[in-house]
Amino acid sequence: SDSLTVAELAKKLHREPSEIIKKLFMLGVMATINQVLDKDAIELIAGDYGVEVEEEIQIDVTDLEVYFTDDEAAELDERPAVVTIMGHVDHGKTTTLDSIRNTKVTAGEAGGITQHIGAYQVEENGKKITFLDTPGHAAFTTMRARGAKITDITILVVAADDGVMPQTIEAINHAKAAEVPIIVAVNKMDKESANPDRVMQELTEYGLIPEAWGGDTIFVPISAIKGEGIDNLLEMILLVSEVEEYKANPNRNAVGTVIEAQLDKGRGSVATLLVQNGTLKVGDPIVVGNTFGRVRAMVNDLGRRVKHAEPSTPVEITGLNDVPQAGDRFVVLSDEKSARQIGESRAQQALQAQRSEKTKISLDNLFEHM
């Protein structure tokens, strides 16, 4: 485990707790017998006694990351790319997302152009692409802070009449940190004052060099408002997808990430999930962040009820006991009892973590006092 109380550590070291307390005191820390010590503090004290702390190799079933296992190559199938759109204020992110949806979702389909959840899928040349309609930066930052990588490709929208702006640079930094490939959409090409060369020139400073200039960044001129260049943009996404070969195993319990969640008056907890591996089915026992339940109903991006959701598919589900948070992981378990147990102990742990945060002695505290 990653933390022990002073008493537990003393026992493991075959010493009296008072001796450990004294040692801590010498390091400038006033500790009680029930004080929780973190991993680094434990190693420091144990090291003082010439004891090396062995890493316990143990699977913690309440850690949802352990369910994100790799699959055998033979089990893998192609999956759609998951794409987010980023860029400076007013450069046309929303218009681009709308334009992609409007050109690709036929009006006759149920729901038509009304978007039901914060993500949607389109088809281009018989291949699907998933778009996340997250307010770029905020979502990206939260999800990255939680270690949840969900995006395969970022579309960087830059207005051709405005050029590179502060949030353009911020977006580039986010994408680079997350190692997500960038496709540049040079937007507002319909404008008199559009100057795509300037955009390309400015972006070279940030390592985004067009192919025509010897680099490897794809630039696509578009007019989101007129729907021009959108097909080309989608084709470029497919091109990158082919190179990167996004894959997943549809024949396993689903795992993925929460895109958004809220409490609905009528339906209770409603969560939009991105299935990242496996297939999610109605009736599946599930743990979502610190919540749990059984998938009661599933609705796709067109507002249609569906019974299953394959990898890279966004769906809205009901049936959870509480509201999870954006960026939370979800995992499907083989039985409802385990889902309940894991969900409940995760909720418990979260509560305890909040409480012990205040009393925990970390290595930083130790050094602060030295």
Binding site for ligand GTP (CB under 6 A): 87, 89-95, 187-188, 190-191, 223-225
210 binds, among Mg ion, ligand GTP, none (CB under 5 to 8 A by kind): none
Closest CA to 138 of 328, 270, 326, 329: 326
Distance separating alpha carbons of residues 234 and 145, to the nearest angstrom: 29
- Compute the least distance from the CB of residue 223 to ligand GTP, in Å: 4
Distance separating alpha carbons of residues 79 and 174, to the nearest angstrom: 24
For residue 260, give the 3-state DSSP assignment: strand
225 binds, among Mg ion, ligand GTP, none (CB under 5 to 8 A by kind): ligand GTP
Closest CA to 147 of 53, 234, 64: 64
Distance separating alpha carbons of residues 335 and 4, to the nearest angstrom: 32
Q: Which is nearer to Mg ion, 233 or 288 (CB)?
A: 233
- Compute the least distance from the CB of residue 88 to ligand GTP, in Å: 7
Q: Report strand pairing: 247-248 vs 77-78.
A: antiparallel
Judge residue 116's burial from the number of C-beta atoms within 10 Å of its C-beta, 0-12 exposed, 13-18 middle, 19 or more buried. Answer: middle
38 is in an annotated binding site: no
How far lies 97's CA from each of 105, 238, 300, in Å?
A: 12, 16, 17
Distance separating alpha carbons of residues 281 and 336, to the nearest angstrom: 14
- Compute the least distance from the CB of residue 100 to ligand GTP, in Å: 12
The DSSP bridge partners found for residue 297 are 318
- Compute the least distance from the CB of residue 150 to ligand GTP, in Å: 20
Q: Which is nearer to ligand GTP, 104 or 360 (CB)?
A: 104
Instruction: Say what angle helices 166-177 and 136-145 make with each other, to 10 degrees.
Output: 30
For CA atoms 157, 161, 164, 167, give the dihedral sign: negative
Q: Which stretch binds Mg ion (CB under 5 A): 87-95, 119-127, 208-216, 228-236?
A: 87-95
Q: Which is nearer to Mg ion, 94 or 232 (CB)?
A: 94
- Compute the least distance from the CB of residue 63 to ligand GTP, in Å: 36
Identify the residue among 3, 5, 62, 94 touching Mg ion (CB under 5 A). 94
Q: Report strand pairing: 182-187 vs 153-159.
A: parallel
Q: Which stretch binds Mg ion (CB under 5 A): 31-39, 67-75, 94-102, 190-198?
A: 94-102
152 is in an annotated binding site: no
109 binds, among ligand GTP, Mg ion, none (CB under 5 to 8 A by kind): none
DSSP secondary structure of 40-102? HHHHHHHHHTT-PPPPP----TT-GGGG-----GGG-EE--EEEEEEESTTSSHHHHHHHHHH
- CB–CB of 361/35 below 8 Å? yes
87 is in an annotated binding site: yes
Q: Tell me which H or E stretch contains 128.
A: strand 127-132
- The count of chain residues that interact with Mg ion, using the rule CB under 5 A, is 2
Q: Which is nearer to ligand GTP, 111 or 227 (CB)?
A: 227
127 binds, among ligand GTP, Mg ion, none (CB under 5 to 8 A by kind): none
187 binds, among Mg ion, ligand GTP, none (CB under 5 to 8 A by kind): ligand GTP
Q: Which is nearer to ligand GTP, 224 or 275 (CB)?
A: 224
- Compute the least distance from the CB of residue 193 to ligand GTP, in Å: 10
- Compute the least distance from the CB of residue 143 to ligand GTP, in Å: 18
- Compute the least distance from the CB of residue 92 to ligand GTP, in Å: 3
> With binding defined as CB under 5 A, does residue 167 bind Mg ion?
no
90 is in an annotated binding site: yes
Q: Which is nearer to ligand GTP, 92 or 285 (CB)?
A: 92
Residues at the interface with Mg ion (CB under 5 A): 93-94
Residues placed in the known binding site for GTP: 87-94, 133-137, 187-190
Residues placed in the known binding site: 87-94, 133-137, 187-190
